[in-house]
Amino acid sequence: MLFDLRSRGRRRTVQVIYLGLALLMMGGLVLFGVGAGNGIGGLLNAFTNNGSSNSSAVNQQTTAALKLVKANPTEASAWGALIEARWSDAGQSPDFNTATSTYSAAGKKQLTLLAQDWQRYTQLTSSPSPDVAILAAEADGILERYAAESGAWQAVVNAQPTEAKGYECLAASAYAAKDTRVGNLAAAKAVSLVPKLQQLQLKTVLNGAKTNPEVAQEC
């Protein structure tokens, strides 16, 4: 169990984490509309922010998350909050160009740091949040780190075994990483989870992913 409240010191730690997370969530909801979208992970709506007026607030969010991690380095929830903050930071102008859907060097640096934070996060929990895993997978896909992306999508499907989208992206990233066995297994599972009328189209898309890594990047 993540939070054992029987220890007084432990209760204090949990209170600090919850306070920090509450502040981060409030900032995300007010500034970025986090959680307001549909589909896998409403957090992906951070891409829709294109004004530079938010950048300083995002930087403050990342700074707050870094302080939270420093105070609670062994708490997975603190690292998850940092991952969310870095994703929001990377998705803001000037780090992300909405017209060309490209990242600056600074934006890619944030995504690289996010990927490193994900590795630490997975060391601290055996049940990663699917929302956090999606952000890690997206970052690795953008950075063309397909084996790492595949690993993150595996965490997503472990948490959401009945969602076709996770298996689609796992298949695409596995193919991009030249892991045909995992790609084929994930593709077959994805097809089995969608309505029959969509199965042929999905098969076509996933077959294309075997030779086109861009499918994994766009997942």
How many structural domains are present in the chain? 2
The per-residue pLDDT for 60 is 87
List the domain range (segments joined by +) for residue 176: 144-219
**Is residue 2 domain-shared with residue 71, that is, in the same domain?**
yes
Same domain, 194 and 114: no
Q: What pLDDT, on a 0 to 100 scale, did the predictor assign at position 59? A: 83
202 and 163 share one domain: yes
Does residue 210 share a domain with residue 155?
A: yes
* Four-residue CA torsion sign, 44, 50, 54, 59: positive
Instruction: Mark which of 78, 94, 126 sits at the end of a domain.
Output: 126
Q: Give the sign of the dihedral formed by CA 212, CA 154, CA 73, CA 22.
A: positive
Q: Is residue 134 domain-resident? A: no
Q: What does the block give as tokens for 138?
A: 């997206």
Helix 105-124 and helix 76-90: axis angle, to 10°?
160
Question: Are 118 and 177 in a shared domain?
Answer: no
pLDDT value of residue 58: 67
Mean pLDDT in consecutive groups of 10 residues from the start of the chain, 219 residues:
39 45 45 36 34 60 95 97 96 89 93 97 97 98 97 98 97 98 98 97 97 94
Cβ-Cβ contacts under 8 Å for 148 (sequence gap 6 or more): 115, 136, 140
pLDDT of residue 93: 81
pTM of the model: 0.74
The pLDDT of residue 206 = 97
Domain boundary among 126, 155, 173: 126
In a domain, 171, yes or no: yes
Distance of CA 101 to the CA centre of its chain: 17
Question: What's the pLDDT score for residue 2?
Answer: 37
Cis peptide before 94 (omega within 30 of 0): yes
**Can you read off the two tokens belonging to residue 145?**
């780190």
User: What DSSP line would sit under the chain, residue for residue?
Assistant: ----TTSHHHHHHHHHHHHHHHHHHHHHHHHH-TT-S-SS-GGGGGGG---GGGHHHHHHHHHHHHHHHHH-TT-HHHHHHHHHHHHHHHTSTTTEETTTTEE-HHHHHHHHHHHHHHHHHHHH-SS--HHHHHHHHHHHHHTT-HHHHHHHHHHHHHH-TT-HHHHHHHHHHHHHTT-HHHHHHHHHHHHHHS-HHHHHHHHHHHHHHTT-THHHHT-
Q: How many CB atoms lie within 10 A of CB 93?
A: 16
Answer yes or no: do 37 and 97 share one domain.
yes
